[in-house]
Chain A
Amino acid sequence: MASIAKSWLCASCRRKTSVSLAAKSRYSYSTASRHDRPLRMAVVGSGPAGFYTAYRVMSKVPKTKVDMFEALPVPYGLVRFGVAPDHPEVKNCQEKFQEVASSPDFTFIGNVSIGNTGGHFAGCTIPLASVLHHYDAIVFAYGASKDKKLGIPGESGLQGIYSAREFVGWYNGLPEYAGLAPDLTKGDEAVIIGQGNVALDVARMLLENVDVLRKSDITEAAIEALLKSRIKRVHIVGRRGPMQAAFTIKEVRELMKLNRVGFHDIDMSLMPDEISKLPRARRRLMEIMMKGSTANVDEALKSWSLDFCLSPTEFLGRPDRSLESTVFERTLLSSPFDPSSSVASTTEKLTIPSSVAFRSIGYKSVALPGFDEAGISFNDRKGIIDNDGMGRVLQINKDESSGSHLPGVYCAGWVKRGPTGVIASTMEDAFSTGDAIASDWNSAAPFIKGESSSGWEALRAGVEHGKCKVITWEDWQKIDKAEKERGLLAGKEREKFTSTKEMLAAAS
């Protein structure tokens, strides 16, 4: 989608930024009498990491003022655009986020992305350097906006190959993928590459009875496409074995219990002999895979399998460039019953017919424009902001050794730890960042010394001058209400707006 992002700088920032950027100098920091005034903190991203960090700091440092920037007009990150529509109870964490947002010391600034080059975000953009000028502290909690690639032939040239991030974004109404229109009518076999919980979410969407899904907040477009779907057989393929699988038991159990959906027996040679001696969580997971589905495969309408020890090597297409099959190479586990076992490749190949394939091998975070200038160290290989484990961001060091903490700069969530972990672990992680900020503020640790600590008050004039619409919390509540009203008409919990244009219209 073409970007209409507007970038701007307030006059004082323009002067400062051009100087500091040209000189590539690090911004200065202060330890001055901070206890005389409230902590002013910017949070980049409104997912669980952003909200739980804000919550923790606001609870521990009285009168902290938080400004939360969100690139989209709507809050909650992957709770809205990742968590499966048939898992509404998981989204109950939004209650806490609403509670945080209702504080007079909290300001939501939606449709405003920090340092984003444009991309799919159609809203306003504030350069990172400007933000740094007006706060004591900044927390990067912007999640993972890309996904990992396999890097095998056919991956980008054929039709019918989707990343899980695209597909999940599409059925959850993420504006970026509103137009994805995946074709599920080309054949009856689907392949999902990767064996994490996201892969199981994708499988459940393909296998679940649409009448169950239609009462959730899944988009109408997704309902229509799923109604037309011809997919009857789903392969969830992993490069390692059952003892190494990344998915968790609750999600497997859900699939096993689907009405008239059968599970093909797993390869028992990969199972340890004495399951009963395994640690509790592994044991229960192995047991449920061995027990199989409630429905009998022979009588089921649809079926699925967990195919282990297969690593994809190539996608093959038909003359019309649509996907026909996926080629895998069999792998050999160095230690089949060790959860951290590595695999070696073999020469044995296996081809699975696939009219559609999903790549579900993980999301990926990227650095924001302006990191280099600000001296923020981003680890491209791990896809995280370098930090001390408590969320204190490390400075770029020329000599490649671990840098020291960049005063006032913190991170939390997937961008801190990498793209794994459920909301509970993201919360724990955000709390540890929050604790670090509180303890730094209450000790003599240095923070950012910017132009002022007047935060959004200093920045807003410039943004509004740029004529792009900023979404306040009250605006979001209007969008929320409108979506619920649309939902009521459709007999579902919520009918999401799938374009930022519609969202902005509902807010005005």
Chain B
Amino acid sequence: MATPRSLARSLQSFQISSFQSIAQLSRPALSSRGKIRSNSPLLCRPRIGASLLRQFSTSPLRQHGHIHPPKPGEELYVTFIDKEGKEHKVAVSKGDNLLDIAQAHDLEMEGACGGSCACSTCHIIVTDEGYYEKMPEPEDDENDMLDLAFGLTETSRLGCQVIMTKELDGLKVKLPSMTRNLQASDFGSKS
């Protein structure tokens, strides 16, 4: 195929959406926002980050990302270990990806490109090699972005590309630190 995948993905499917963020609803006279939507099954859609909205608005209307609440008896469990080493075990549904799940639970995962495999800010590290092996192999696109991820490990993945399945029930992943510790030598010297 001639068309680069990324372009085809976003351009074929762009549409103007009338969706407004909750924070925007509190402001008058706002126009609807245009969004580039993707309809590839591999990709999740851009979402509204939850943490900032919580800061700005106490509205009970606040939505969680684009995840599906698990049906009773069909819960799968995934544990996120945050930067402070704290564990967060959450019940999720089959089919949701780790970026959406993390954001819906206010865990610090940026997802700057909205899950389009174009930024590497959703980097996660699978703690157990066994689980890593159970995941479908990363595509070239994902590996290309992983190559740029800070602190890449043998069991690194992009959260937006990992989709929960029954086999992954009990998965544990670490969120690597996003702010790298700059070396004094990088700066400091005034030459």
Identify the A interface with B (CB < 8 A).
55, 58-59, 62, 86-93, 95-96, 98-100, 102-105, 209, 212, 215-216, 248-250, 253-254, 257-260, 280-281, 284-285, 377, 379, 381-382, 386-390, 394, 400-403, 422-424, 427-428, 431-432, 435, 474, 477-478, 480-481, 484, 488, 493-494
Contact = CB atoms under 8 A, between A and B. Distances in A.
A24 B138 CA distance: 59
B23 A103 contact: yes
Given A248-B148, A493-B36, A428 B114 contact: no
Given A89-B38, A431-B179, A104 B29 contact: no
A403 B150 CA distance: 30
Contact of A62 (B23, B55, B189): B55
B147 A284 contact: yes
A86 B114 CA distance: 16
Contacts of A388: 187-188
A476 to B, nearest CB: 10
B11 A215 contact: yes
B186 A104 contact: no
A98 B23 CA distance: 10
Closest 4 CB pairs of A and B: A259-B2, A89-B116, A92-B114, A389-B187
B141 A377 contact: no
B14 A99 contact: no
A92 B147 contact: no
Nearest to A295: B2
Contacts of B31: 477-478, 480-481
B38 A379 contact: no
Given A248-B148, A253-B144, A99 B53 contact: yes
Given A93-B112, A98-B21, A209 B2 contact: yes
A216 B52 contact: no
Nearest to B10: A88
B46 A92 contact: yes
Contacts, number: 180
Interface of B: 1-4, 6-7, 9-11, 14, 16, 21, 23-24, 26-27, 29-36, 38, 46-49, 51-53, 55-56, 110, 112-114, 116-121, 140-141, 143-145, 147-148, 150, 152, 178-180, 182-184, 186-191
Given A88-B36, A432-B182, A257 B112 contact: no
Contact of A59 (B7, B46, B51): B51
Given A103-B55, A493-B36, 7 more contacts: A95-B114, A98-B33, A99-B52, A215-B7, A258-B4, A432-B179, A493-B34
Contacts of B33: 98
Nearest to B119: A424
B113 A484 contact: no
B21 A216 contact: no
A90 B16 CA distance: 18
B14 A89 contact: no
A69 B33 CA distance: 22
B118 A102 contact: no
B118 to A, nearest CB: 5
B7 A216 contact: yes
Contacts of B53: 99
- Determine which residue in A216, A281, A480 has the highest number of CB atoms from chain B within 10 A of its CB, and name it: A281
A402 B189 contact: yes
Contacts of B16: 484, 488
A140 B25 CA distance: 31
B30 A477 contact: yes
A424 B121 contact: yes
Contact of B112 (A96, A209, A250, A381): A96
A154 B172 CA distance: 60
